Amino acid sequence: MSIQETQNIILGAGVAGLGAAYALNKRNEKSLIIEKDKTHGGLCGNFSINGFRFDRFVHFSFTANEQVNQIFEKSSPDIYRHIPNPFNIYKNKWIKHPAQNNLYPLSEEEKTLIINDFKKRKNISDKVPDNYEDWLRIQYGNYFAEHFPMVYTRKYWMCEAKDLETKWIGNRLYQPSIEEVIEGCKTSETPITYYSKEMRYPKYGGYKQYLKILAENQDIIYGENVTCVDAINKTIKTSKGKAFKYHHLYSSIPLPNLIGMLSPTPPDEVVTASKKLKCTCGYQISVGFKTNRIPPYLWWYIYDEDNIAARVYSPSLKSPDNAPTGCTSLQLEVYCNHGRYSDSELIQKTIQPLINQKIVFEEDILFIDIRFEDFANVIFDHEIYTNRHIIRDYLNSIGITTIGRFGEWDYLWSDQSLLSGLNI
Ligand SMILES: Cc1cc2nc3c(=O)[nH]c(=O)nc-3n(C[C@H](O)[C@H](O)[C@H](O)COP(=O)(O)OP(=O)(O)OC[C@H]3O[C@@H](n4cnc5c(N)ncnc54)[C@H](O)[C@@H]3O)c2cc1C
């Protein structure tokens, strides 16, 4: 069997893998990307059903990085600039996001409980919180922490808040003053405090359009699932029996999968560390509607636990190009880390509650499509930094550079995943 030999092999044609190939091209270095899917994009990709287009989860661009913006703008000159004004559903009420400073729709009793607990918080500078639960209680007081983010943590991160560390939070959660909390209890006319000022989205082609120039003129082999990496002979093999030889290997595939396909088997310490990495899996429940009777919000969070969906967004509100004229669409996100739901169970526990609440209407639904992603969000448990350090150090020592969200094993947005590839 003849083995194709290339200077650089890149595993995965998501935004990180494409970014790496783009950077190597600029340095006049040859590269070959091996991708298991039939097209490029990875999580930034999309799929179409009866004239409707759905991204693989919500996806907007809010990057401040100049280099990424240039690539995205060149790829998609026509964009929508949405002002982020998401909402939340809590006890059947629509609450502006973030809930902590927009509590106006709540009962007077709940507002009083939240404000009182907010006032009783420990002094923020007194103690560095050991875990996310502590952080939430210190930031927001017990009642709000227990009824909002701690509940949401179970739906989104699939664990208890105490089991998470806190470095990943960054500016993701708004930390209002007591004055803002009280003001948000008195009026719905509060300023938008979302962490990004605009959410950009291609007018045509879905989020994947942003990757257009990255994928142009690249050598990509599609439909080849890499199953074995021989680090001594610098050879990879695919499930269809093809083999490729490399001088350097860049991998954007999830770390636990990569460790599982290495030959020779890595030291015990590395294998053990890879078994301890945790992430959520996720279902995308995509719904096409024949009318425009959907909520007017680009995306919304569901705090109520009788609906297992954590977040819903509207592809057709992101861009009308995502749905046929006169139609609209929603995609619901359900996370899980063990066991899977049946399709009918998913519909009963996600769409049905929305129908019962008269948020959507059964007679408007054209179709419901359910897809599953093995890797959605990396879980920041207390051992994540130690474990991923052990694994990435070992991979570096055998000449494998890991990139992207699941190669760096980090909570990277698409711009950060792209930069991880561009900066190899
Ligand atoms: C729920 C959710 C919402 C998000 N929302 C946003 C957002 O609004 N804005 C934003 O900027 N970012 C968002 N992101 C993050 C963004 O999706 C990622 O940062 C980015 O897509 C990761 O790119 P990647 O190339 O690192 O990984 P991936 O996209 O996972 O690419 C890896 C590629 O490797 C391929 N592959 C895997 N295994 C093999 C194998 N064995 N052989 C060959 N090929 C293989 C896969 O098919 C895939 O194409 C979101 C992510 C999630 C999960």
pLDDT in tens, 350-391: 999 999 999 999 999 999 999 999 999 999 999 999 999 999
Higher pLDDT, 333 or 121: 333
Query: Which residues are within 8 A (CB) of 109 and not within 5 positions of it... i.e. 6 or more apart?
Result: none
In our burial notation (b when 16+ CB lie closer than 10 A, e otherwise), range 98-131 reads: bbbbbbbbbeeebbebbbebbeebeeeeeeebeb
Nearest Cα to Cα of residue 57 among 407, 345, 333, 385: 333
Residues 362, 18: Cα–Cα separation, whole Å: 41
pLDDT at res. 338: 64
Report how far ligand 1's centroid is from the alpha carbon of 372 (Å). 13
Q: What is the pTM of this model?
A: 0.96
| pLDDT of 267 above 70 | yes
Phi, psi of 100, rounded to the nearest 5 degrees? -60, -30
Work out which ligand 1 atom sits closest to the CA atom of 43: 29
When the candidates are 3.40.50.360, 3.40.50.1820, 3.40.50.11720, 3.50.50.60, the CATH number that belongs to 4-51+64-82+204-274+382-422 is 3.50.50.60
Is 17 touching ligand 1 by the criterion CB < 6 Å?
yes
User: Tens digits of per-residue pLDDT, 57-83?
Assistant: 999 999 999 999 999 999 999 999 999
Phi, psi of 228, rounded to the nearest 5 degrees? -145, 130
- Kindly report the average pLDDT of the chain as a whole number: 95
Phi, psi of 381, rounded to the nearest 5 degrees? -75, 180
Work out which ligand 1 atom sits closest to the CA atom of 408: 26
| pLDDT of 124 above 80 | no
pLDDT at res. 195: 80
Atom 15 of ligand 1, residue of closest alpha carbon = 413
Report how far ligand 1's centroid is from the alpha carbon of 139 (Å). 31
- pLDDT bracket for residue 125 (50, 70, 90): low
Residues 332, 323: Cα–Cα separation, whole Å: 16
Nearest Cα to Cα of residue 185 among 67, 104, 68, 77: 104
Residue 370, sorted as left (phi over 0), alpha (psi -120 to 50) or beta, turns out to be beta
Is 251 touching ligand 1 by the criterion CB < 6 Å?
no
Domain spans in the chain, listed from the N-terminal domain onward:
4-51+64-82+204-274+382-422, 98-186
Atom 17 of ligand 1, residue of closest alpha carbon = 43
Report how far ligand 1's centroid is from the alpha carbon of 43 (Å). 4
Residues 399, 424: Cα–Cα separation, whole Å: 13
Report how far ligand 1's centroid is from the alpha carbon of 201 (Å). 17
Work out which ligand 1 atom sits closest to the CA atom of 19: 25
Q: To test the ligand 1 pocket, which listed residue (414, 415, 423) has its Cβ within 8 A of the most ligand atoms?
A: 414
Is 42 touching ligand 1 by the criterion CB < 6 Å?
yes
Residues 307, 327: Cα–Cα separation, whole Å: 24
Report how far ligand 1's centroid is from the alpha carbon of 405 (Å). 7
- pLDDT bracket for residue 309 (50, 70, 90): very high
